[in-house]
C-alpha cells in the first residue's frame, strides 16, 4: 500500500499571507488535504478537503478536535478513533426492507437541470426573530417542530417556487441524518466513518408551491422519522444490491445541518473559531443542489444560523422575494441586499 505525505509552504510578501498545505495520498485516492492560511490581523484559516469515504462531518470534527488537543499539549486524543467499519456491513444475504426514494433513478426530461453559467451565491441569516416569524406561518400543532424542520420546509418551498419547475414534476428534499444513535447499541463514540442517511421527502411541484408552509413541514418531519436501525441496515444492503448508486440530484435539494456537529468547539490553542463551515452553498460535484446550516454570530452579537445558497441569478431574485414574503412581519432591514456583494447580508 502506497502512502505519500507532503508539506508545501508558500509565503507571499505582496499579500502578507502565509499559506501552508499538507495532505495524505493513499494509493490513488486523495484521503485528506489541509491548508492553513495566516492572516495579517493575526488570525488564521484552516481549510480541509477529504474523500467522503474516509469520514462524515462527525468524523471530521473528531479528527480536528484530536489535532487541536495535541496542539495544546495532549499526548493522545481524548476520544480514540474507532475503525470497525464492519458494524455497517450489509447483511448476508442482503435484502432491501425499506423504501429509499432518495436513490430513485430520475430522468431529466424537461430541461430543469440548472444552467451553471450564471450562478448567484448568497448567504441568509436566521436568528430568533426570523425563526419566530416562520413558526408563526405554520399551524399551532406544528409550532413545536425543530428549527431544522421548519427552516428546511421554508427553504425547500421558496427554492422550488424560485426555480419554476413543471407543476406536475416531482421535487424532493434530502435531509442528511446522523444515524449513530439509531443503533442498539449505538455506534462507538470514536467511530469516524460515514454513519448517515439521506431520507427524502417527495411531492409534486404544484402541491409544494400552492400549499401553505405546514404542508412542506409535515413531509420533512416524516422523512426524518424514517431513519431507524432497520432503515440503515436496508440502506447498506441496497448499496450492495444496486452497486452503490448516487442519490438523485434531478429536481432535488439537499440540506445538511452542521449546527450541532461541533466544528465550533475545535481549538488549536488560539481559542474557538469565529466561523466554521463552507464558504459557499451548492458548490462541488453537484452545483446548486446542497446547502448547509452553519452556526453563526452576526455583527449585532446575535446567535443564529447562516445558510449559503447557490441558484441561477434570476431564480435567486425570486427566492429572495418568496423569503421576504414569509418574513414580512419583521423590520424592513431584517433581510437586506448589499449591492456591492454577492451575499445577502441578512443581519450578518
Q: Are strands 303-312 and 196-197 parallel, antiparallel or unpaired?
A: unpaired
Q: Known catalytic residue: 267?
A: yes
Q: What is the distance between the alpha carbons of residues 207 and 1, in angstroms, rounded to a whole number?
A: 53
Q: How far is CA 215 from CA 87, 149, 248, 272, 294, in A?
A: 37, 12, 22, 39, 25
List the catalytic residue out of 28, 52, 117, 226.
52
Residue count (the chain) = 348
Q: What is the distance between the alpha carbons of residues 233 and 250, in angstroms, rounded to a whole number?
A: 26
- For 25, list phi and psi in degrees, rounded to 5: -115, 125
* Grid coordinates of 265: 468547539
Residue 292's contacts (CB-CB under 8 Å, 6 or more residues apart) are 255, 256, 257, 258, 277, 278, 281, 307, 308
CA dihedral defined by 35, 299, 176, 229, rounded to 10 degrees? 100
List the catalytic residue out of 104, 166, 267, 324.
267
185 preceded by a cis bond (ω within 30 of 0): yes
Cβ atoms of 310 and 288 within 8 Å: the answer is yes
Which sequence positions are flagged as catalytic? 52, 267
Amino acid at each position: 500500500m502506497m502512502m505519500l505525505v507532503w508539506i508545501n509552504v508558500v509565503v507571499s510578501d505582496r499579500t502578507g499571507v502565509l499559506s501552508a498545505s499538507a495532505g495524505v495520498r493513499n494509493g490513488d485516492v486523495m484521503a485528506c488535504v489541509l491548508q492553513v492560511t495566516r492572516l495579517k490581523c493575526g488570525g488564521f484559516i484552516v481549510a480541509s478537503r477529504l474523500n467522503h469515504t474516509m469520514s462524515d462531518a462527525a468524523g471530521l470534527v473528531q479528527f480536528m478536535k484530536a489535532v487541536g488537543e495535541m496542539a495544546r499539549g495532549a499526548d493522545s486524543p481524548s476520544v480514540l478513533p474507532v475503525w470497525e467499519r464492519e458494524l455497517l456491513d450489509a447483511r448476508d444475504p442482503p435484502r432491501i426492507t425499506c423504501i429509499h426514494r432518495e436513490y430513485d433513478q430520475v430522468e431529466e426530461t424537461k430541461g430543469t437541470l440548472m444552467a451553471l453559467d450564471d450562478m448567484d451565491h448568497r448567504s441568509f441569516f436566521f436568528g430568533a426573530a426570523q425563526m419566530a416569524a416562520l413558526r408563526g406561518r405554520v399551524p399551532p400543532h406544528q409550532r413545536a417542530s425543530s428549527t431544522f424542520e421548519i427552516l428546511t420546509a421554508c427553504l425547500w418551498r421558496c427554492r422550488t417556487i424560485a426555480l419554476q419547475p413543471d407543476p406536475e414534476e416531482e421535487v424532493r428534499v434530502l435531509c442528511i441524518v446522523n444515524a449513530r444513535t439509531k443503533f442498539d447499541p449505538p455506534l462507538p463514540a470514536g467511530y469516524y466513518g460515514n454513519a448517515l442517511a439521506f431520507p427524502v421527502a417527495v411531492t409534486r411541484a404544484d402541491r409544494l408551491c400552492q400549499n401553505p408552509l405546514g404542508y412542506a413541514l409535515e413531509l420533512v418531519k416524516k422523512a426524518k422519522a424514517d431513519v431507524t436501525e432497520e432503515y440503515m441496515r436496508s440502506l447498506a444492503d441496497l448499496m450492495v444490491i444496486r452497486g452503490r448508486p448516487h442519490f438523485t440530484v434531478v429536481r432535488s435539494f439537499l440540506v445538511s445541518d452542521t449546527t450541532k456537529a461541533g466544528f465550533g468547539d475545535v481549538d488549536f490553542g488560539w481559542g474557538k473559531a469565529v466561523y466554521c463551515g463552507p464558504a459557499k452553498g451548492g458548490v462541488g460535484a453537484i452545483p446548486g443542489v446542497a446547502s448547509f446550516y452553519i452556526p453563526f454570530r452576526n455583527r449585532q452579537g446575535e446567535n443564529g444560523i447562516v445558510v449559503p445558497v447557490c441558484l441561477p441569478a434570476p431564480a435567486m431574485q425570486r427566492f429572495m422575494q418568496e423569503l421576504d414574503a414569509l418574513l414580512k412581519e419583521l423590520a424592513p432591514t431584517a433581510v437586506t441586499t448589499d449591492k456591492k456583494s454577492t451575499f445577502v447580508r441578512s443581519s450578518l
